[in-house]
Amino acid sequence: MLLEHVFSEMVIAGAGWTQEPPHRYILVYMKISLDRCVACGNCVAICPVGAIDIDPVINRATVDQDRCVECFACYRGLSTEHLNPTLVRSIRKVFSWFRLRFDPEPDVCPTDAIEPQDLAWPRIVRRAFSDPLVPHESTGIHGRGTEEVKTNDVTHRVGEGEVGFTIEFGRPSVSASFRDISGVTETLAAAGIAFEANNPVTHLMDDPSTGKIREDILDERVLSAIVEVKTTMERVPEILRIVREAAENIETIIAIGVSTRCDAEGGSALESVLHDEGVPFWRGKTNLGLGRASQVEPVAGSG
């Protein structure tokens, strides 16, 4: 019975699943229990990508498995009560007869109906990029899995005379698929641009020299992901144009950050280069830390 129930859900949702010997089927996505949900709608508002809806036919919350990025916000963002679902539904129905509503507090799932499942490959990639509490295996860093240039004072990721780019795909409410990302990274690779090695998207490429992201995750969606490349000041306009053109063929949004080191007077050529490209320029923040430099780079003019 349980197995039939599981299968019908999978067919309806078109979700991926995996089979583990001997004959044990594992759900591989965020699930809302049809038995426990009372359709209060509290989880609908908390989902950052609009993946939860109340199905008016069955009067239960359901998760759009393609849209869900496994961020676990619905599971962790609501506190739970353990009310009896049958009792809650009965009370809500009786109240409705008198044009009254019986609703839980907005930050509560009253019947503990949200049931995260064990995620399997490739679905687990969604959670790695979308749940800020899960570190990336490839870099050991939570969230998007990279410190970008925020720790450049100790990592020296962007050296003197170099320009670093962070190309961020997706934002809350506009997620991104790896197919979108691969379209841009392949174009960058074809132009001879190298990718930052200590970055989780680079680790998901078949071969960083081609920029092609592995085939089995292309249809996975994530809340956001950051691609990092490094180049020279002369190539900044070219990189901006490549990303702008590639962005016209993908279905998400892209935010680009450009960074370089200041000279001894605090200036840099980047400001005028970006100005010429019609890109507004703002001084970014500097993260000061007490870390020890992991790479020692000679300071210009120090002899």
Is 28 among the residues that bind ligand SF4 (CB under 6 A)? Answer: no
What sign for the dihedral angle of Cα 145, 150, 152, 153?
Answer: negative
Segment lying near ligand SF4 (by CB under 6 A), choices 105-113, 229-237, 253-261, 266-274: 105-113
In this complex, which beta carbon is closest to ligand SF4, that of residue 52 or of residue 184? 52
Closest CB 138 distance from ligand SF4, rounded Å: 22
d(CA 87, CA 301): 76
37 phi, psi to nearest 5 deg? -65, 135
In this complex, which beta carbon is closest to ligand SF4, that of residue 85 or of residue 200? 85
- Closest-CA residue to 30 (of 103, 143, 46): 46
109 phi, psi to nearest 5 deg? -95, 110
Task: With beta carbons less than 8 A apart as the criterion, state whether 218 and 178 touch.
Answer: yes
In this complex, which beta carbon is closest to ligand SF4, that of residue 114 or of residue 189? 114
Segment lying near ligand SF4 (by CB under 6 A), choices 44-52, 211-219, 260-268, 286-294: 44-52
- Binding ligand SF4 (rule: CB under 6 A), the pick from 13, 28, 113, 243 is 113
Is 27 among the residues that bind ligand SF4 (CB under 6 A)? Answer: no
Would you state the structure tokens that stand for residue 137, as one six-digit string? 């295996």
Is 62 among the residues that bind ligand SF4 (CB under 6 A)? Answer: no
d(CA 126, CA 28): 11
- Binding ligand SF4 (rule: CB under 6 A), the pick from 15, 27, 40, 176 is 40
Closest CB 217 distance from ligand SF4, rounded Å: 17
Q: Which amino acid is at 117?
A: Q
Counts of helices then strands in the chain (DSSP H, E): 10, 15
Is 32 among the residues that bind ligand SF4 (CB under 6 A)? Answer: yes
Per-position x/- string for 65-104, each x denoting binding to ligand SF4 as judged by CB under 6 A, each - no binding: ---xxxxxxx---x--------------------------
Is 38 among the residues that bind ligand SF4 (CB under 6 A)? Answer: yes
Is 61 among the residues that bind ligand SF4 (CB under 6 A)? Answer: yes
Task: With beta carbons less than 8 A apart as the criterion, state whether 240 and 279 touch.
Answer: yes
| Binding residues for ligand SF4 restricted to 140-199, rule: CB under 6 A | none
d(CA 43, CA 176): 22
- Closest-CA residue to 39 (of 23, 59, 25, 20): 59
Is 128 among the residues that bind ligand SF4 (CB under 6 A)? Answer: no
In this complex, which beta carbon is closest to ligand SF4, that of residue 41 or of residue 237? 41
In this complex, which beta carbon is closest to ligand SF4, that of residue 27 or of residue 109? 109
- Binding ligand SF4 (rule: CB under 6 A), the pick from 28, 109, 188, 205 is 109
Cite the beta strand spans of the chain per DSSP E.
Answer: 17-20, 24-27, 31-32, 52-55, 60-63, 79-80, 108-109, 114-115, 162-169, 176-177, 205-207, 212-213, 221-222, 225-232, 254-260
> Coil, strand, or helix at residue 53?
strand
Is 41 among the residues that bind ligand SF4 (CB under 6 A)? Answer: yes
SS3 content of the chain, % helix, strand, coil (to 5): 30, 20, 50
Would you state the structure tokens that stand for residue 36, as one six-digit string? 């426990």
d(CA 34, CA 14): 17
- Binding ligand SF4 (rule: CB under 6 A), the pick from 111, 202, 252, 259 is 111
Is 43 among the residues that bind ligand SF4 (CB under 6 A)? Answer: yes
Interacting residue ranges for ligand SF4, rule: CB under 6 A: 30, 32, 37-43, 47, 49, 51-52, 61, 63, 68-74, 78, 109-111, 113-114
